[in-house]
Amino acid sequence: MKTYRIAAIPGDGIGVEVIAAGVEVLQALAGRDGSFDFAFDHFDWGSDYYKRTGLMMPDDGREQIKGHDAIFFGAVGAPDVPDHVTLWGLRLAICQPFDQYANVRPTRVLPGITSPLRSVSGPELDWVIVRENSEGEYAGVGGRVHKGFPEEVATDVSMMTRSGVARIIRYAFRLARSRPRKLLTVVTKSNAQRHAMVMWDEIAAEVAAEFPDVTWDKMLVDAMTMRMVIKPQSIDTIVATNLHADILSDLAAALAGSLGIAPTANLNPERAFPSMFEPIHGSAFDIAGKGIANPIGTFWTATMMLDHLGEPAASARLMRAIERVTADASFHTPDLGGKATTRQVTDAVIAAIAGDN
């Protein structure tokens, strides 16, 4: 029997609650399937670890997880630690050195969930956002000088490389080609940002020539926000820079009903390093410890992890279980307007897995 070694890093706040729920569901799924198993290693890295040690994860942290088959990540962020410390100290400290350059974010309206868009009942909104995850606006290039003096200067320089842009655009074209509509929108801002974004557009046109079977178009990011709201059915696969896709994917999650449902995968497609799977949401300290965090985003990301591990049947079984549960409003957590707890939703998904044929 195949055993997958998974590094579980729950992090902070509700990350701890949803990853515990996700581990339970994955174990139930392995038990139901019988042909594979999981061995979870748990890492207590995050803001509490930082308060004890001054680091978000140990110096040899990446060394400890680089041999795992995948990383199952919760969220980072604490009210009393600056967000750039938590983000750069843990999440980006894994994503960037592990070259997880493709951040894939599916969005659709699951059964039983109401979109805030009047025109959407389900099939009109079925997107995948591909986010460049290794450079661009979040390359970390920049600095501050004359700190605190009136002449203080601060820069964040967006840095794009030809190879970095080409690989993410190529990944997005391949993904678009694998979906029924074979439709890709390349998001840009080359009217105002006249260097890197112009190169981005040029590379998109070059790569497009390799994919004559994919229909593609180009859209300015500001216009894209409008199109997502007004004409959601005109969109299928989207590729955008690190910052643009970060913003568009929160909008997408909200249009699909709740941030608590949205999943994401940080992929190293070449598999030189483990990939990382996480819900899109953060540590949500406003609801942490209350037992009401929606675990569906974590369960959905677990289906992406199963696909990556090469277990498509188990992935499909878990997705069926998720959809059976969301279809029943008595299992909606407060973010969806219901009263269910994390425990109740988790138990319902485990029961649906057991009952799945």
Which parts of 78-107 interact with ligand NAI (CB under 6 A)?
83, 91
- Which does residue 113 touch among Mg ion, ligand NAI, none (CB within 5 to 8 A, set by kind)? none
Instruction: Identify the residue among 275, 335, 352, 353 touching ligand NAI (CB under 6 A).
Output: 335
* CA neighbor of 11 nearest in space, from 66, 93, 68, 67: 93
DSSP string, 282-344: ---TTTTTTT----HHHHHHHHHHHHHHT-HHHHHHHHHHHHHHHTSGGG--GGGT----HHH
Burial class (CB in 10 A: 0-12, 13-18, 19+), 225: middle
Give the 3-state DSSP-derived string for 38-52, with helices as H, strands as E and coil as C: EEEEECCCCHHHHHH
- Which does residue 176 touch among ligand NAI, Mg ion, none (CB within 5 to 8 A, set by kind)? none
In angstroms, what is the minimal distance from the CB of 220 to ligand NAI?
Answer: 25
Span of 76-84, 141-149, 183-191, 324-332 interacting with ligand NAI by CB under 6 A: 76-84
Taking CB positions, which residue lies at the least distance from Mg ion?
246
User: Cα dihedral angle (142, 148, 152, 158), rounded to 10 degrees?
Assistant: 20
Q: What residue has token string 């896709």?
A: 245
In angstroms, what is the minimal distance from the CB of 281 to Mg ion?
Answer: 9
- Identify how many contiguous H helices and E strands the chain contains and give both numbers: 12, 12
Decide whether 294 or 303 has the Cβ nearer to ligand NAI: 294
Instruction: Identify the residue among 61, 112, 263, 297 touching ligand NAI (CB under 6 A).
Output: 297
- Which does residue 158 touch among ligand NAI, Mg ion, none (CB within 5 to 8 A, set by kind)? none
Say which DSSP state 115 is in: P
Decide whether 63 or 286 has the Cβ nearer to ligand NAI: 286
**Token pair listed for 10:** 């729950």
Decide whether 132 or 246 has the Cβ nearer to Mg ion: 246
How many residues bind ligand NAI, per CB under 6 A?
20
Decide whether 31 or 79 has the Cβ nearer to ligand NAI: 79
In angstroms, what is the minimal distance from the CB of 298 to ligand NAI?
Answer: 8
In angstroms, what is the minimal distance from the CB of 335 to ligand NAI?
Answer: 4
- Whether residue 316 contacts residue 353, with contact meaning beta carbons closer than 8 Å, is answered with no
Which parts of 109-168 interact with ligand NAI (CB under 6 A)?
none
- Whether residue 144 contacts residue 153, with contact meaning beta carbons closer than 8 Å, is answered with yes
Element (H, E) at 132: strand 126-132
- Which does residue 246 touch among Mg ion, ligand NAI, none (CB within 5 to 8 A, set by kind)? Mg ion
x/- map, 249-288, ligand NAI, by CB under 6 A: ----------xx-----------------x--xxxx-xx-
Q: Chain-centre distance of CA 355, in angstroms?
A: 28
Strands 70-75 vs 276-279: parallel, antiparallel or unpaired: parallel
Q: Does 76 interact with ligand NAI (rule: CB under 6 A)?
A: yes
Instruction: Identify the residue among 294, 315, 344, 346 touching ligand NAI (CB under 6 A).
Output: 294
Q: Does 75 interact with ligand NAI (rule: CB under 6 A)?
A: yes
Positions in the binding site for Mg ion (CB under 5 A)? 246
By three-state DSSP, how is residue 117 classified? coil
Decide whether 164 or 260 has the Cβ nearer to ligand NAI: 260
Q: What residues have CB less than 8 Å from 86, skipping those under 6 apart?
A: 12, 46, 47, 50, 56, 76, 77, 78
Burial class (CB in 10 A: 0-12, 13-18, 19+), 231: exposed
Decide whether 237 or 341 has the Cβ nearer to ligand NAI: 341
Q: Does 22 interact with ligand NAI (rule: CB under 6 A)?
A: no
In angstroms, what is the minimal distance from the CB of 249 to Mg ion?
Answer: 7
Q: For the chain, report the end-to-end CA distance as a whole number of angstroms.
A: 21
For ligand NAI, the binding residues (CB under 6 A) are: 14, 75-77, 83, 91, 259-260, 278, 281-284, 286-287, 293-294, 297, 333, 335
